Structure 1
Amino acid sequence: MPLGDMDKIASETGFSGVVQVDRAGQVEFAKAYGLANRAYGVPNTVDTRFGIASGGKGFTALTVLSLIREGKLALDTTARSLLGDDLPLIADDVTVEHLLTHTSGIGDYLDEEGDWEADDYVIGAAHVLTTTEAFLPLLDGHPPKFKAGERFGYCNGGYVVLSLLAERASRQGYHDLVRSRVLGPAGLTRTDFLRSDELPGDAAVGYLEGGDRSNVFHLPVLANGDGGIHTTAGDMTKFWRALFAGEDAEVATKPRHHVPEESLRYGLGFWLHETDDTVILAGYDAGASFKSTHDPHTGTTTTVLSNTSPGAWPMARALM
């Protein structure tokens, strides 16, 4: 589809967000639509920061892989070896690799395989979730769904467990681990963990469907390992270029599982195209939708960020 048709789709769908296409390091198309803050009429710009929901899992995976390179973790490290008495329902044989590939089988606090809608209230006291340890009561008490390694089963809680393992292996907080091991080395100066109750002026407020209510009560007040970091279209281009210039691209993007229900494959924290080498990060949550793809052969990156739950998908389908 010609990039000029983006305006038509944005108008027809009421799209609020940013679309950017880069080819071989050159910006081919970049445009913002809609409002970052509806109450004050603040427009989105191409530099607006958006929460990217599960797109943040890629940042968690790369943080874990950096600890593996240093010998502080291994793919076969068991969760139980670092959890101690915490989360006793996680089986003894669940490993870091199982968690990275969504094959751990552990019960999930946010089970997308069940009857779940993005705008549901699912996490209780959102304001207390400022640290990884604070997630422990939320993660606890969920029986296993299947045996470790038995199949693919998308698991948000597994990526918070990964954050916890990373913290305990490194003795450093998750947010600082991501900043020092992913954001800093990649030069992602516009990407960070922003509190939803004190967003800076350059960040988009996330809005629920069908009105002007924000998502402040729907998501953890501070994002964690399963997603929610804020970023920009420009920083996503930097992210992909840094990934494929670094040491972890091959292991992170090696296909580990075919996921036929999504017509995709999965690596370590990254979705992969079913038949070619395109790598994908995507996220969907209350007041946030996001998709960014990168073709390592042509250096083409396409990114769609939106501050509404369904907003990104019509634009992403047209582009990708």
Structure 2
Amino acid sequence: MNPDIRFVCPAGIKHPELAKQLGAKIVRPFAGHLWEQLTLPMWLQRQGNPLLINLGNTGLLNYDEQIVTIHDMAFKVQPLWFARSFQLWYDYLIPRIANNSRLILTVSNSSKNDIVKFTKVDPEKIHVIYNAIPESFTKKFSEEGINISSLPEKYILYVGAINPRKNLAHMVEAYNLLQREDVKLLMIGEEHASFADYQLQQLYKDKADIMLKSKLTDEELICTYKRASALINVSYHEGFGLPLLEAMHLGCPVICSDIPAYREIFGDAAILVDPTSAEAIRNAINDVLNMNGALNSKIEKGKILASQFSYRRSAEKIINCINNL
């Protein structure tokens, strides 16, 4: 690794083994926003104010020598999807770091357009660098010993956060309209207080044919994708849609909402539907379940598309951005 590149993090991070592998320096005190806005700037000042690259969705308010990553502007597109405190903080933070930073990285042209619209920054300052398949999804492993016994025999799969922006209420309504006792709906994700979807909770609560799981290992998730009849994601707004790319890589058909980011990235490799219509979503699910051989064309297109995304290429683009400053 380039000795000029240093990784820093607060204490108590989720993946200490990764921090160790990267040789990350633990900088104290604090964590979360306090660490980011107080501890980190003070540490950077002591290091001579080097260039900071932040691949998360935030950055430093009072530090100009930085490259920030803004994945999407969902908090501006529809503030009601978020807790008021979260929305107010991002509404204050994101426009300021966008204007103060040297460069902005984002994950799609759709997100780039939104950033320009809501922050008024120069479009030339924004560089689109796509996400890609995680390395763990490309490694071969034995499925022996992987816990898949609780998977239904036939199911439609959702992978992602459990929150209103994901339009899960319409997805569940569409599933209920399907009226197929042989097909279950499996949702994999976690709820967070800042994005809680209480309407959805009432729709799936105590329903045996709708299952919710969380905290799967990468191997368990891979096996779950492979056995699904289709992945469904009818989100109202996204910057990229990594679970869709993961599903395509593993040969799982994808049904998704007809929104700018999904049209840009997945195109005709996915089955695009109107996210506001439960009937349209139901029809798409039903079509996938009945397509049989005709579905192979979509699956093959998805695999070819997924192979075109690489974190190595994305990393090279980031390095080029840095070198051209």
Fold shared per TM-score above 0.5:
no
- Name which structure has the greater RCO, CA cutoff 8 Å, separation 6+: 1
Higher alpha-carbon Rg: 2
> What's the TM-score once normalised by structure 2's chain length?
0.25
Give 1 or 2: higher helix fraction. Answer: 2
